[in-house]
Copies of this chain bind each other. A is one copy, B any other.
């Protein structure tokens, strides 16, 4: 390998560890947005930007940019988010963010001033690290964050607006949507094991799944398990079981184009010898295909509508994100680079959400995946080896070269 790439990867590996240190308390990595931990991360990044000659600045919601001015108008955006969930691992957003810092630094040293301006963004509150709704930074960039969204409260009752004000970002108005961005590319670990199992090192993301998450509560009639004949029961548990079994069967028949997960079930009162009064099941449905999400919703609603007498069904949607297609020209360009470098690449869909899906309808957007060891994400055990990172890093660097330096 090229010695300069190797040095960039040395820096990147060390930087991931150094960056994590800003937000490890009692052995636990958690960088909630607008906190002291977040402030420390912003300071470290600002230092790195500045010493490389990138202009560091923040917007009114707290996105942190490092800007390397080009000769012509138009901005190529790269980077990732800087927040982490509680008890997270070191890779998360840091991998894409610091890969961007390393690559842009290396390209700048190698090729001088770019044709297009390059900005590296460290978005804020992508993970829902502090507030339930996520993608705050990218929604601001896309012009999708509205004043009413700022009223959301964190677990302590502090509003998003207050948190942004206290951190010194928000001063009464939201940032203008970015109209100057020509393209966005983000590198990330897969957060799954499709690539590892396929023995591939680079994933060209085709689409990011949309998701619908929520819960269904079925109310029946509490009664005695022994003395209530089957014909006199309104037992919500078998009804819930029918919903789970049916929707799973449907998803299994769709050739991995949709996933359905029922991750929690709560039975009330939950005694072995009492027919339940109610059952609540959570659902998490994801697909890159909007019509499959809509089909799943219809199946659930049909269960609600067809509940017999004595049953009632509450159906709550907690979040809906539309699926997003990555830019086809970008995929083709990256495919050519990957082929030229004999990379072990594959096309892949993202089952996890990313800022990229928020901005994809504003400007052409692409993602590069590298493998996650054992598919682990959002855990201290999360790991992407240098060997697994190399090809994805080179692809990001080469793609940025063609986009911003035009050579």
Q: Once the chains bind, are B273 and A252 in contact (CB under 8 Å)?
A: no
Interface size class of A (residues with CB under 8 A): 35 or more
Give Cα A259 to B258, complex, Å. Answer: 36
Q: Once the chains bind, are B245 and A262 in contact (CB under 8 Å)?
A: no
Q: Once the chains bind, are A226 and B211 in contact (CB under 8 Å)?
A: yes
Give Cα A282 to B211, complex, Å. Answer: 32
Q: Once the chains bind, are A226 and B238 in contact (CB under 8 Å)?
A: no
A224 at the interface (CB under 8 A from B): yes
Interface flags for A258-282 (1: CB within 8 Å of B; 0: not) read 1111111101001111111001001
A230 at the interface (CB under 8 A from B): yes
CB A356 to nearest CB in B, in angstroms, measures: 14
CB A257 to nearest CB in B, in angstroms, measures: 9
CB A221 to nearest CB in B, in angstroms, measures: 10
Q: Once the chains bind, are B242 and A245 in contact (CB under 8 Å)?
A: yes
Interface flags for A228-253 (1: CB within 8 Å of B; 0: not) read 11111101011011111100110110
Give Cα A286 to B242, complex, Å. Answer: 22
A174 at the interface (CB under 8 A from B): no
A191 at the interface (CB under 8 A from B): yes
Give Cα A273 to B225, complex, Å. Answer: 32
Q: A237-B265, A244-B237 are in contact. Are A228 and B193 (CB under 8 A)?
A: yes
Q: Given the complex, which residues of B lie within 8 Å of A191, measured CB to CB?
A: 224, 226-227
Pick from B193, B260, B261, B270: contact of A263, CB under 8 Å:
B270
A352 at the interface (CB under 8 A from B): yes
Q: A264-B272, A270-B264, A351-B224 are in contact. Are A259 and B244 (CB under 8 A)?
A: no
Give Cα A244 to B244, complex, Å. Answer: 11
Q: Once the chains bind, are A267 and B270 in contact (CB under 8 Å)?
A: no
Give Cα A261 to B223, complex, Å. Answer: 10
Among A190, A197, A224, A249, the one with the most B-chain Cβ atoms within 10 Å of its Cβ is A224
A377 at the interface (CB under 8 A from B): yes
Give Cα A248 to B263, complex, Å. Answer: 22
CB A249 to nearest CB in B, in angstroms, measures: 8
CB A178 to nearest CB in B, in angstroms, measures: 27
CB A284 to nearest CB in B, in angstroms, measures: 4
Pick from B211, B227, B270, B274: contact of A190, CB under 8 Å:
B227
CB A283 to nearest CB in B, in angstroms, measures: 8
23 contacts between A and B (CB under 8 A): A192-B227, A192-B228, A193-B228, A193-B232, A211-B226, A224-B375, A224-B377, A225-B261, A225-B284, A229-B256, A230-B258, A237-B244, A237-B265, A238-B245, A241-B242, A242-B245, A261-B274, A261-B275, A263-B272, A263-B274, A264-B270, A265-B265, A265-B270
In the complex, besides A194-B232, A213-B272, A238-B244, 13 extra interface pairs with C-beta distance below 8 angstroms are A192-B226, A194-B229, A209-B226, A225-B259, A225-B263, A226-B259, A227-B351, A230-B260, A231-B252, A238-B248, A261-B272, A261-B274, A265-B270
A interface residues with partner B (beta carbon < 8 Å):
190-194, 197, 209, 211, 213, 215, 223-233, 235, 237-238, 240-245, 248-249, 251-252, 254, 256, 258-265, 267, 270-276, 279, 282-284, 286, 350-353, 375, 377
